[in-house]
Structure 1
Amino acid sequence: MEENIRKILFVTGARSEYDIMYPVLELLQQRRDVALKLVVTGAHLSDLYGKTVRNIEKDGFEIADRIYNLIGTDDKVGRIVGIGTQINGLAQCFIREKPDLVVVVGDREEAISVTMTAAYLSIPVAHLAGGDVANDGNIDNAVRYAASKFAHLHFTFLHKHAEVLRLLGEEDFRIYNLGNPALDKFVNCDWMKKEDILPVKEFNITNEPYVVVIQHPIISESADAGSQIEVTLEAIRETGYKCFINYPNSDAGNFAIIEKINEYANIFPDQFYLFRNLDRLNYINLLRYAGCLIGNSSSGIIEAPSIGLPVVNVGTRQRERFNAGNVIYTDYNKSEIYKAIVTSMTDVEYRNYVKQLVNPYGDGNSAQKIADVLSTVNLDDKLVYKNITYKL
């Protein structure tokens, strides 16, 4: 490998954060001064969650390693055991690949395992989406902050996220507030005809309004995950709207959610359509034509404002996370959810208000800026040896 070629290794464990990094990957792939590879792990490699590694292969990126770490249990211990397995695999991969820079996104287990492993090996590591704040009691918040303390470079999505990192003692030269690159593809994605969108075509509901559900479990509430999603589904059933349901993530409690959404799809096949995962083009267009997004996905906070999509956020996940104003928060209460759905679907004044909102997370021009920094930033001792800015 020539000395002027920078070896950059991205690590991805789920479709959600792969979609964030994809526009950056696409640009880095085109550079002659970068040798790009991916490490694929987590839900990407699981048949249960759609085996989305196939999408990565289709996109044409070189995969340096596949690290299988998901444990076949719905208990809380599964995630931490999986992290241990992941760290072991990452350490061996990093030693073998000898990357100049490692990149990871978000607040899933990959964020903490990657940043910690790279830091211990004195490999510069960049973290996207640090400094975000959600007062929902989810373990992902602690993971996000811990990952930031291990990381050497930060790409934040909001100015206030950059300020949080400064308050955490991160040096200013490490922080780049450049917006969310996922919006580059989300805003500029090709339009499909409604009837050509894969799940719409299979469900045959071209002329009817519909909603989309993405509801994940919360580890601290995992015992209640099944009853929580049932409340959401019952509220939707009473509205009568057709509904597309995406599989949840792999956190504890997901088995109960999967069982319940399969139950409703089987009992009410004319109203509920279930899918494990969609490619980026179909997913974005499914949301473009939707009446509202229901559940607790970050997609409702970060992406939905770019297409003027109302969101009903159910429960504690994503609470107090900064949003554009397109989100109605409800408790796990059927009547509250029902009312919020009806407002989102039929209140003309509210829907017009949501359509004119400006997405604070980016304007579709972030990826090039991030790719330029990753390709040119000095990977020297100053970057690797971290100091804390606050003094006692």
Structure 2
Amino acid sequence: MKKRKIFFVTGARSEYDIMHPVLEQLQDSGEIDLQLVVTGAHLSETFGKTVRNIERDGFKIADRIYNLLSTEDKVGRIAGLGSQVTALAHTFNREKPDIIVVVGDREEAISVSLTAAYLSIPVAHLAGGDIANDGNIDNSVRYAATKFAHIHFTFLEQHAQVLKMLGEDEYRIFNTGNPALDKFIHCPRMEKKAVQPLIEFNIQDEPYIVLIQHPIITEVENAGDQIKETLEAVIASGLKCFVNYPNSDAGNFAIIENINAYATKYPDVFHLFKNLDRVNYINLLRYASCLIGNSSSGILEAPSIGLPVVNIGSRQRDRYSAGNVIYTGYDREEITAAIKKSVFDEKYRAEVKAIRNPYGNGDSASRISDVLKTIALDDKLIYKNITYKVF
């Protein structure tokens, strides 16, 4: 019997981390012809060329699509998306996968779901129905991808209800939780002394924080000033800080320029990394006192290890939070106060430690892989209608 051919498309480390436990489940089952299409920041040295991680993990790569343009202009992202659509169309038409899987709200979500829908190939979309009131283009991408996708894996029951209100058939929707938490929860715990040599920075005798701050497309012109406020707040806190590179959105040049400048000027405070593998990253967070910036990791994953988060600026606003997040503006004094509360307020830290993560409990990947292996690939799945009626 011919194996079901399932493609995953990934363009960045963040969504590869989400899909990775599902990939492992499908690979280990031996029942699926599993292949990846790798694109975007994965293929860029600027962002750590994380395709090497995928190769090391042993997954078969069906195609590499180079679409990331080295530019600060907003037009660069949409131009790259356009070239991505064309390349994906040729790849999908040649390889003819039975299902294509994509995550979230990056450009791959819309390019993949649009292209596959026109080719009548079922698309499975993870993380639909999520809501953030931050004015970012990612919100529009997420909802547009939902309307093109044929199978939905949501991270919260609230998200599943949103998809139903958008007119999606109930039989398409599976509330599975976030598979990234499978790896997060079950990741082998390293001793603190084992983490230190990997990151080449002394973390044995003092608290430290982790910073991940991405640009926002509607605030590109302010990205440099925004990250400066954050970096000055870190200095004022008196804490050491591990800084991850931002994503590839417009505005990242200014962030990268500033974090490099501060790391050069304050080498005893800041340590930069373009990419840490998942095990090292998780253990770095386990021993951290706080995560700051605007990464979705603070919303989706940090609650599983009782980690306080300071979310800076508008990104991630109004996403459902477990209660471990303090929201601030871009003012350094406000950020500093939030960092100090998160690190030194023992009562607050105890409250965060007691939080249960609503986004999953470590079994999401098996639930998703079971659906992908067994769902009927028929006209009912491909033909989409709007379930609500207004007349």
Amino acid at match of 1:290: A
Give the alignment of 1:124-273 within 5 angstroms.
124-197=122-195, 201-273=199-271
Amino acid at match of 1:101: I
Provide Cα deviations, 1:107-142, integer angstroms capped at 9, x if missing partner: 000000000000000000100000000000000000
Give the number of aligned pairs.
390
Cα offset, 1:198, TM superposition: 5.4
State the TM-score, normalizing by the size of structure 1: 0.98
Give the alignment of 1:264-283 within 5 angstroms.
264-283=262-281
Amino acid at match of 1:335: E
Amino acid at match of 2:33: A
Distance in 2, matches of 1:378 and 1:286, equals: 42
Cα offset, 1:390, TM superposition: 1.1
* Distance 1:198-1:49 versus aligned 2 partners, 3 A rule: farther
Give the alignment of 1:341-356 within 5 angstroms.
341-356=339-354
Give the alignment of 1:46-61 within 5 angstroms.
46-61=44-59
**Aligned equivalent of 2:379:** 381
Provide Cα deviations, 1:78-124, integer angstroms capped at 9, x if missing partner: 11001011111111110111100000001000000000000000000
Distance in 2, matches of 1:343 and 1:112, equals: 39
Conservation of the 8 A alpha-carbon contact between 1:195 and 1:201 = no
> What's the secondary structure of 2:134's corresponding residue?
coil
Conservation of the 8 A alpha-carbon contact between 2:102 and 2:108 = yes
Conservation of the 8 A alpha-carbon contact between 1:312 and 1:337 = yes
Conservation of the 8 A alpha-carbon contact between 1:104 and 1:111 = yes
Give the alignment of 1:309-328 within 5 angstroms.
309-328=307-326
Amino acid at match of 2:34: L
C-alpha RMSD of the superposition: 0.9
Provide Cα deviations, 1:235-276, integer angstroms capped at 9, x if missing partner: 110111000000000000000000000000000001000110
Distance in 1, matches of 2:212 and 2:198, equals: 16
Distance in 2, matches of 1:75 and 1:290, equals: 35
**Aligned equivalent of 1:26:** 24
**Aligned equivalent of 1:364:** 362
Amino acid at match of 1:166: K
Distance in 2, matches of 1:157 and 1:383, equals: 21
Distance in 2, matches of 1:378 and 1:49, equals: 38
Amino acid at match of 1:90: L
Q: Which runs of 5+ in 1 are unaligned?
A: none
Distance in 2, matches of 1:255 and 1:359, equals: 34
> What's the secondary structure of 1:203's corresponding residue?
coil
Q: Which runs of 5+ in 2 are unaligned?
A: none
Amino acid at match of 2:278: R
Distance in 2, matches of 1:295 and 1:265, equals: 17
Cα offset, 1:206, TM superposition: 1.7
Distance in 2, matches of 1:119 and 1:299, equals: 30
> What's the secondary structure of 1:386's corresponding residue?
coil
Cα offset, 1:204, TM superposition: 2.2
Aligned counterpart for 2:332 among listed residues 334, 340, 343: 334
> What's the secondary structure of 2:247's corresponding residue?
coil
Distance in 2, matches of 1:199 and 1:302, equals: 28
Aligned counterpart for 1:78 among listed residues 76, 79, 97: 76
Conservation of the 8 A alpha-carbon contact between 2:213 and 2:246 = yes
Amino acid at match of 1:332: Y
Conservation of the 8 A alpha-carbon contact between 2:15 and 2:104 = yes
Bigger mean CA offset, 193-202 vs 27-36: 193-202
Distance in 1, matches of 2:359 and 2:304, equals: 9
Amino acid at match of 2:235: R
Distance in 2, matches of 1:35 and 1:156, equals: 24
Cα offset, 1:200, TM superposition: 6.2
Distance in 1, matches of 2:353 and 2:333, equals: 25
Cα offset, 1:197, TM superposition: 1.8
Distance in 2, matches of 1:200 and 1:155, equals: 35
Percent of residue pairs bearing the same amino acid type:
69
Please list every run of at least 4 consecutive aligned residues from structure 1 whose deviation after the TM superposition is greater than 3 angstroms.
198-201
Conservation of the 8 A alpha-carbon contact between 1:200 and 1:206 = no
Distance in 2, matches of 1:31 and 1:346, equals: 46
Amino acid at match of 1:337: I
